Amino acid sequence: MVKANENYLKLPGSYLFSTIGKKVREFGEANPEAKIIRLGIGDVTQPLAPSIISALHSAVDEMGVKESFRGYAPDLGYEFLRNAIAENDYRARGCDISADEIFVSDGAKCDCSNIQEIFSLDNKIAVCDPVYPVYVDSNVMAGRTGSYDAKTETWSDVIYMPCTADNGFAPEIPEKTPDLIYLCFPNNPTGATIKKAQLQEWVDYANKVGAIILYDAAYEAYISESDVPHSIYECEGARTCAIELRSFSKNAGFTGVRLGFTVIPKELKAGDVALHPLWARRHGTKYNGAPYIIQRAGEAVYSPEGKEQLKAQVAYYMNNAKYIYEGLKSAGYTVSGGVNAPYIWLKTPGKMTSWEFFDFLLEKVNVVGTPGSGFGPSGEGYFRLTAFGTYENTVEAVDRIKRANI
Amino acid sequence: MVKANENYLKLPGSYLFSTIGKKVREFGEANPEAKIIRLGIGDVTQPLAPSIISALHSAVDEMGVKESFRGYAPDLGYEFLRNAIAENDYRARGCDISADEIFVSDGAKCDCSNIQEIFSLDNKIAVCDPVYPVYVDSNVMAGRTGSYDAKTETWSDVIYMPCTADNGFAPEIPEKTPDLIYLCFPNNPTGATIKKAQLQEWVDYANKVGAIILYDAAYEAYISESDVPHSIYECEGARTCAIELRSFSKNAGFTGVRLGFTVIPKELKAGDVALHPLWARRHGTKYNGAPYIIQRAGEAVYSPEGKEQLKAQVAYYMNNAKYIYEGLKSAGYTVSGGVNAPYIWLKTPGKMTSWEFFDFLLEKVNVVGTPGSGFGPSGEGYFRLTAFGTYENTVEAVDRIKRANI
């Protein structure tokens, strides 16, 4: 008699962004006249840059002609893209990462959630709190997190590293020793970053205790300050303790295009087992490559025109971030993030919980944000706004919140 | 101390098609003058149909304009595509499947390998032998298959259903009762099909014993005979025992475009647990949707022009299949498949093993096929050729094999 994976049944409620989507849809249906502004999900709004559009059209044309048609892509990605990544994202920053250590995929969400598969089920994970829910949920589904305590909203076998105003939203080395450490900088949801010297401490710690850092650098394009690392491989010793996950979603607006990559250095091991061949085996067995035309779009991100156009796109969103940050600050809110990241993290006013503030903003001013508590217990009392809206909507949303005058 | 997933280490050798790729690459490098013809991997060679190219260009243009730009796709796929699938692949064939039972993905390989995740680790799987390696390998990686016996090339906890000339390459109901039954018709690798009445027996059996059939119908577009089912939902009772997996790779040449889908009827349960919400949760948590432009290409597959153009494309490949089938038969080979499927399954000549014949063809006539034994022990002594080459290469390959005169 067939049985379901009972770990799935342990998951409390639905995926955060699905819940938000449902709430907003229901409110919109009940209030068709409301002009809802979405600053919740970290989804981009600017069209793809001209150089990317042009690369897509060329690749589509190639697929329509026998001589240039491409079938299955190489398991790990096309050389042209892996070379462009290695050169621009790594060697240009002095990081020793070669093209054959890069695994191209259809996005960082898939990689973040799949990467745990190559590790033992009895490995213990550590996550920041608040945290991007996918890290925890994918481990719950695999059966690695123990039992859920609905009161504390925590899992018995997960090590939580609180990130609050008290520690500048930077996690501290945990008391219990983890095997897998999820870090994300610039951080989603708090928008916080850590300096290179702080990241070096994590690398040294991981090497010392034999842990692996799963480093999510999806937002690195938003870094504006000079001593904030763009890659964990800027730190000495990271090749023996770190996997880096990257996305094209936020630096190039690929949320609906789907492209990302994971870096696994060849000398990275779990005990005696090299991890590069394990991830290669997973790609070869359970994945069939990102579409050719999308990989060509990824290549265009690194062209001189692409770089220039995307710099302007990132600047557009960061101008939104500045508007939100300064607007809410001037209105008396306690805000952080927004300087090296497209996320603004604010304290909810008065004694409001995160979800109360979510409902308030949705119902009173028709603005959608993300409740901080959806990212973990230490997110309670906080709220995330994203800078990925249009400038006009961002201004309108901030002005509405200010007018609401809570 | 971090540990690797030891199940990965149990996998014997590398993924079949990676091994073949490596052998061919090495032979090509050592023999640069050899004109190698690849009829191994089931990869298509014809360019995308004009209606698909046109849909891709339009969608790319939409992505370049603010007003029509699309970010994250709906978790489970765009309505326009799910509606087209439900209408054309199901309702038009009298199958009761609705759009919201369809989950769009980036390909059947991912779905085939991921679907096992929503089931308990102690569920027992049954597979045809020979079989598409992904079904077994993905279960090995999850830890569901027990121990490997290198001598028999079988896993202790897998139920094998031999498909040989003796039973017309059709599996028989196994003696031990499985929980999950992988079936693929038209079959990869044998090219065999079963009639609707035979498939109905499987559906009745699964309902009786409380098993679930994972039905891979990736090759349904190649069915030419009338009493061969295109979907398992043509059988009565399939909604309570079957998940169907479909691909756009072979009917529309999307191997490098990446699009597929999975059907989970709402009443399908494992014990008390409905499976539709579990797979929805997996999509929501671990996946971020197929690219918008690719979903528009999928929609074009169902347009009147698309249908006509793809019918011609399938006919092109089936003409190759006929050439291989008849050519090898006339040369004295024992061949099957090729009538409702793009695969020809042949007995290796004399006492040659599958890999010996692989090496022979590669070295003597520079033709690449797939060793039957790579698909399972009952595939030993067989060999697969695909009809997905160009007509010119197919003719040349068959003529070379005939001239080799083994």
Kindly report the CATH number assigned to the domain that includes residue A370. 3.90.1150.10
Average pLDDT estimate for A273-287: 96
Q: Is A316 in the B-facing interface, judged by CB distances under 8 Å? A: no
For residue A71, which residues of chain B lie inside 8 Å, CB to CB? 43-45, 253, 255-256
CA dist A351 → A236, A347, A382, A406, B5 (Å): 44, 10, 11, 11, 45
Token pair listed for A346: 């604010």
- Residue A343, classed as helix, strand or coil, is strand
Structural domain includes residue B38 = yes
When CB atoms are compared, the residue of A69, A275, A289 closest to B47 is A69
Bond prior to B130 in cis (omega within 30° of 0): yes
CA dist B387 → A121, B39, B314, B325 (Å): 42, 7, 10, 10
DSSP string, B56-102: HHHHHHHHTSTTT---SPPTT--HHHHHHHIIIIIGGGT----GGGE
**Residue A86 pLDDT:** 98
Give the type of residue at A337.
G
**Residue A387 pLDDT:** 97
Bridge partner residues of B263 (DSSP) = B102, B244
Put simply, the chain B residues between 242 and 271 with a CB less than 8 A from any chain A CB are 253, 255-258, 270-271
Tell me the HSE value of A186 on the side-chain side, using a 13 A CA sphere.
Answer: 25
When CB atoms are compared, the residue of A2, A14, A66 closest to B270 is A2
CB contact under 8 A, B292 and A64: no
CB contact under 8 A, B107 and A45: no
Structural domain includes residue B1 = no
Average pLDDT estimate for A165-191: 97
Residue A44 DSSP one-character state: -
Q: Is A8 in the B-facing interface, judged by CB distances under 8 Å? A: yes
Q: Does B298 share its domain with B322?
A: no
Q: Does B223 share its domain with B267?
A: yes
Put simply, the chain A residues between 196 and 225 with a CB less than 8 A from any chain B CB are 209-212
Q: Residue B85 contacts by C-beta under 8 Å, 6 or more apart in sequence?
A: B99, B102, B104, B246, B261, B302
Q: Residue A82 contacts by C-beta under 8 Å, 6 or more apart in sequence?
A: A76, A99, A100, A102, A104
Q: Is A1 in the B-facing interface, judged by CB distances under 8 Å? A: yes
Token pair listed for B153: 């090339």
- Alpha carbon of B2: minimum distance to chain A alpha carbons (Å): 5
pLDDT band at A79 (very low <50, low <70, confident <90, very high): very high
**Residue B124 pLDDT:** 98
Rounded CA-CA distance A155/B200 in Å is: 45
Rounded CA-CA distance B274/B270 in Å is: 6
Q: Identify the residue whose tokens are 């068709």.
A: A32
Q: Residue B6 contacts by C-beta under 8 Å, 6 or more apart in sequence?
A: A120
CB contact under 8 A, B286 and A2: no
- Alpha carbon of A357: minimum distance to chain B alpha carbons (Å): 24
Q: Which of B1, B2, B258 is the best residue to mutate to test the A interface, defined by the most A CB atoms within 10 Å of its own CB?
A: B2
Residue B150 DSSP one-character state: T
Q: Does B269 share its domain with B172?
A: yes
* pLDDT tens per residue across span A83-141: 999 999 999 999 999 999 999 999 999 999 999 999 999 999 999 999 999 999 999 99
For residue A294, which residues of chain B lie inside 8 Å, CB to CB? 291, 294
Cβ B24 vs Cβ B362: under 8 Å: yes
CA dist A245 → A104, A264, B127 (Å): 10, 9, 35
Per-residue HEC secondary structure of B101-137 comes to: HEEEECCHHHHHHHHHHHECCCCCEEEEECCCHHHHH
**Residue B314 pLDDT:** 98
**Chain B residue with minimal CA distance to A10?**
B278
> Which parts of chain B sit beneath pLDDT 50?
none
For residue B46, which residues of chain A lie inside 8 Å, CB to CB? 66, 69
- Residue A34, classed as helix, strand or coil, is coil
pLDDT at position A8 over 90: yes
CB contact under 8 A, A271 and B2: yes
Cβ B136 vs Cβ B127: under 8 Å: yes
* pLDDT tens per residue across span A142-166: 999 999 999 999 999 999 999 999 9
Locate the DSSP E strands across A255-337. 260-263, 269-270, 273-274, 335-337
Q: Does B362 share its domain with B252?
A: no
ipTM score for this prediction:
0.96
Q: Is A114 in the B-facing interface, judged by CB distances under 8 Å? A: yes
Q: Does A254 share its domain with A128?
A: yes
- Residue B288, classed as helix, strand or coil, is coil
Give the type of residue at B394.
T
When CB atoms are compared, the residue of B2, B271, B294 closest to A4 is B271
Rounded CA-CA distance B118/A143 in Å is: 12
Q: Is A179 in the B-facing interface, judged by CB distances under 8 Å? A: yes
Question: Closest Cα to residue B85, out of B69, B100, B73?
Answer: B100
Structural domain includes residue B101 = yes
- Residue A141, classed as helix, strand or coil, is helix
Q: Identify the residue whose tokens are 């098993």.
A: B211
CB contact under 8 A, A271 and B15: no
Q: Is A45 in the B-facing interface, judged by CB distances under 8 Å? A: yes
Structural domain includes residue A175 = yes
Q: Does B220 share its domain with B248?
A: yes
Structural domain includes residue A258 = yes
CB contact under 8 A, A291 and B287: no
Last residue of a domain, one of A286, A303, A320: A303
pLDDT at position A327 over 80: yes
Structural domain includes residue A185 = yes
Bridge partner residues of B344 (DSSP) = B337, B385
Q: Does A82 share its domain with A193?
A: yes
CB contact under 8 A, B63 and A47: yes
Question: Closest Cα to residue A164, out of A400, A382, A388?
Answer: A382
Token pair listed for B178: 């499985």
By CB atoms closer than 10 A (0-12, 13-18, 19+), residue A198 is middle
Phi, psi of A272, rounded to the nearest 5 degrees: -95, -5
* pLDDT tens per residue across span A29-64: 999 999 999 998 889 999 999 999 999 999 999 999
Rounded CA-CA distance B187/B169 in Å is: 9
Q: Does A21 share its domain with A103?
A: no
When CB atoms are compared, the residue of B75, B257, B284 closest to A291 is B257
Q: Is A13 in the B-facing interface, judged by CB distances under 8 Å? A: no
* pLDDT tens per residue across span B109-133: 999 999 999 999 999 999 999 999 9
Q: Residue B42 contacts by C-beta under 8 Å, 6 or more apart in sequence?
A: B188, B250, B255, B342, B343, B386, B388
Q: Is B25 in the A-facing interface, judged by CB distances under 8 Å? A: no
Q: Is B48 in the A-facing interface, judged by CB distances under 8 Å? A: yes
Q: Is B110 in the A-facing interface, judged by CB distances under 8 Å? A: yes
Q: Does B202 share its domain with B145?
A: yes
Q: Does A219 share its domain with A276?
A: yes
Q: Does A355 share its domain with A213?
A: no
pLDDT at position A17 over 90: no
Give the range of the structural domain holding residue B105, as residue numbers without chain letter.
53-304
* pLDDT tens per residue across span A359-395: 999 999 999 999 999 999 999 999 999 999 999 999 9
C-alpha B84: how far from chain center: 21
Q: Is B405 in the A-facing interface, judged by CB distances under 8 Å? A: no
When CB atoms are compared, the residue of B15, B70, B288 closest to A285 is B15
Phi, psi of B104, rounded to the nearest 5 degrees: -80, 140
Token pair listed for B364: 């003597």
Q: Is B114 in the A-facing interface, judged by CB distances under 8 Å? A: yes
**Residue B13 pLDDT:** 74
Cβ A190 vs Cβ A129: under 8 Å: no
pLDDT at position A14 over 80: no
pLDDT at position A13 over 80: no
C-alpha B273: how far from chain center: 28
Last residue of a domain, one of B260, B279, B304: B304
Q: What is the dihedral of CA A49, A341, A238, A275, to 10 degrees?
A: -60
Provide the number of structural domains found in chain A: 2
Last residue of a domain, one of B279, B304, B329: B304
**Chain B residue with minimal CA distance to A50?**
B64
Token pair listed for B373: 């034994």
Structural domain includes residue B397 = yes
Kindly report the CATH number assigned to the domain that includes residue A184. 3.40.640.10
**Residue B50 pLDDT:** 98
For chain A, the first-to-last Cα distance in angstroms comes to: 56
CB contact under 8 A, A109 and B287: yes
Q: Can you give the pTM of this predicted structure? A: 0.96
Tell me the HSE value of B230 on the side-chain side, using a 13 A CA sphere.
Answer: 17
Rounded CA-CA distance B286/A7 in Å is: 15
Number of H helices, E strands in chain A: 12, 17
Q: Does A258 share its domain with A317?
A: no
Cβ A186 vs Cβ A338: under 8 Å: no
Structural domain includes residue B200 = yes
**Residue B42 pLDDT:** 84
pLDDT band at A267 (very low <50, low <70, confident <90, very high): very high
When CB atoms are compared, the residue of A9, A66, A72 closest to B256 is A72
For residue B66, which residues of chain A lie inside 8 Å, CB to CB? 45-47, 390
**Residue A12 pLDDT:** 83
Q: Residue B325 contacts by C-beta under 8 Å, 6 or more apart in sequence?
A: B335, B337, B338, B339, B344
